[in-house]
Structure 1
Amino acid sequence: MMFPTEIIARLRRTRVVAGFSVDKAEHAVPIARALLAGGIDAIELLLRTPDGLAAVEAICADVPEILVGVGTILTPDTMRDVKNAGADFGVAPGLNANVIRAARDAGLPFAPGIATPSDLEASIELGCRFVKLFPAESLGGIGYLRSMSAPYSHLGIEYFPLGGINADNMSAYLAEPNVVAVGGSWIVKKELVAQEDWTAISARAKEVTQAVQIADQ
C-alpha cells in the first residue's frame, strides 16, 4: 500500500488539491497560507521551476497544518530530494518504475500518473492503488474514467484526476465513488501571485470549498 489510509481520508475530506508552481520561493508560504484561509488544506506544488524544492521546504517548515504534495517528480534523485524537503506525498504525470521504487525506498507515499489500462496494470503490479489520471479531460473526461476503470473496479483502485478540471466540471468528477480528490490548477492564478494578491487567492479557494460543500450534500 503506497498511500497511508490517513492521507487518503484527508484528501477525501479536502476534495480539491490546489496545484501550482512558484517562480520565487518567497511566494510559497503566502500562497499556502492564503489557500488555508480559504479552506483548502492540501496542495500539489509542481517542480517546474528552479525554486520548487526551496518552496516545498519553506511550506513544510512554516505551514505545517497544510498537506504538502509535490508534483512533477520525474527521477529517483528528485524523489529523494522531495522526501528530504519534508513533503507528505508525491505524484508524477507518468509512470516510471524507477521512481516508484525510489518512493518505496524513501518511504514517501506516491501516486504515479496513468492514462491507459496498460499504465494502470503496471501501476498495480508495482504496488500502487492510488493513481493520478492525467490529463483527465483531454483523455475523455468522466466517460473515459468510467470505461477505463470498470475492469479494475473489484480491485479498489482510487483516482486523483488532473488536467482540464475546473470549477465547472469538478463536481462531476467528485461524484464518482472511486475519485478521492481532483487537482485544482485554476485556483492559484499566476497573475495574482505576481501581484502578491493573497486575499484574492483566499477568495478563490473559498469559492471552491463552498462549491465542494454544496456538491457533497
Structure 2
Amino acid sequence: MKKMKIVQQIAAEGVVAVLRGSSPDDAVAMAEQAIAGGIKIIEITMTVPFALQAIESLAKKYSSQAAPDSDRYAVIGAGTALDPESARAAILAGAEFVVGPSLNPDTVKLCNRYRVPVMPGVMTIKEIQEALELGVDICKLFPGSLYSPSTISAVKGPLPQANLMPTGGVNLANLGDWIRAGAVAVGIGSDLTNEAVKTGDYSLIRRKSAEYVAAYRNAKQPV
C-alpha cells in the first residue's frame, strides 16, 4: 500500500525537484529551499558526492507520512540510479522512490521486490512497453528537451495506460503545455537551481519553486 501511496503523492504534487549539488550539505540546502517553496517531491541524484548522506539527512527530517500541510511533509527519493546496487543503497538510506536515466530491468526488479516506486528513463515506445511489462508505474521521458508535449498524446495513442514524466528541458514557459498534454508529473532540474548556484543565493530556489508549483496548479485547472 505504501508504494501506491507514494505514486499517488507524486502524481498529486506533479512537480519533482531534481537536485545535483557539489556536496551532501549543498544538496540538503537546495532541497530545503525547494520544499519551503512548495515542491514536495525531492530527487537527490546519486551523482552528488556522498549522495546517500544527503538522502538520509532529508529522510530523517521529512516524511511522506506527515500531513500534506505540515512543514515536515516531503517525499525524498534518489535519482541517477544506474544499477540495482545503487538503488538498494539509496532505499536503505531512506529513499522512498528511485529514478534512473535509462531502463535497467534489474533495477526495476529490485525496486519491485522492496515495493519502492521506480521511474526509469525511456525514449521509445519499445522501452515504454518494456517498462510497463516490468511493472513500472511512471516512466521518465528523458531527456525531455528532445521531445515536445505532443509526444505525450502520440504515446498515449497505442499506450493509454502509460504514465509519463518528462524531465530535462521542462521550464516555466512549457510546463503547462506538458501537463495539459497528459504528463502525470514533470521533473525540474537545472532551471530550478542554476541562478541560485551562480549567485550563491539559495533563497532563489524557494522563489522559483513557488513559481513552478503555481504554474502546475494553474495548468491543472479545468479549461
TM-score, length-scaled by structure 2: 0.86
Cross-structure match for 1:13: 12
The residue identity in structure 1 corresponding to 2:57 is A
- Give 1:119-130 correspondences, 5 Å limit: 119-130=127-138
Aligned match for 1:144, one of 145, 151, 176: 151
Residues 51, 26 of structure 1: alpha-carbon distance in 2 compared, 3 angstrom cutoff: same
Confirm or deny: 8 A CA contact 1:136 1:163 kept in the other structure.
yes
Cross-structure match for 1:215: 219
| Structure 1 position 81 matched with structure 2 position 85 | no
Q: CA deviation at 1:81?
A: 0.2
Cross-structure match for 1:164: 169
Output one character per residue of 1:19-38: Cα deviation in whole Å (capped at 9) or x when no partner: 11111111233222211221
What is the alpha-carbon root mean square deviation over aligned residues? 2.0
The residue identity in structure 1 corresponding to 2:103 is L
Confirm or deny: 8 A CA contact 1:29 1:63 kept in the other structure.
no
4+ runs deviating over 6 angstroms = none
The gaps in structure 2 that reach 5 residues or longer are: 64-72
The residue identity in structure 2 corresponding to 1:10 is Q
Q: CA deviation at 1:165?
A: 0.9
The residue identity in structure 2 corresponding to 1:209 is V
Confirm or deny: 8 A CA contact 1:32 1:63 kept in the other structure.
no
The residue identity in structure 1 corresponding to 2:89 is D
Cross-structure match for 1:39: 38
Aligned match for 2:143, one of 135, 145, 151: 135
Confirm or deny: 8 A CA contact 1:21 1:52 kept in the other structure.
no
SS of residue paired to 2:157: helix
Cross-structure match for 1:182: 186
Using the aligned pairs only, state the percent identity: 29
Greater length-normalized contact order (CA 8 Å, ≥ 6 residues apart)? 1
How far apart, in 2, do the equivalents of 1:49 and 1:39 lie? 23
The residue identity in structure 2 corresponding to 1:150 is G
Confirm or deny: 8 A CA contact 2:19 2:30 kept in the other structure.
no
Confirm or deny: 8 A CA contact 1:18 1:42 kept in the other structure.
yes
TM-score, length-scaled by structure 1: 0.89
The total of aligned residue pairs comes to 212
Output one character per residue of 1:98-118: Cα deviation in whole Å (capped at 9) or x when no partner: 111121223321112111111
How far apart, in 1, do the equivalents of 2:212 and 2:106 lie? 35
Aligned match for 1:104, one of 97, 112, 115: 112
Q: CA deviation at 1:169?
A: 0.5
The gaps in structure 1 that reach 5 residues or longer are: none
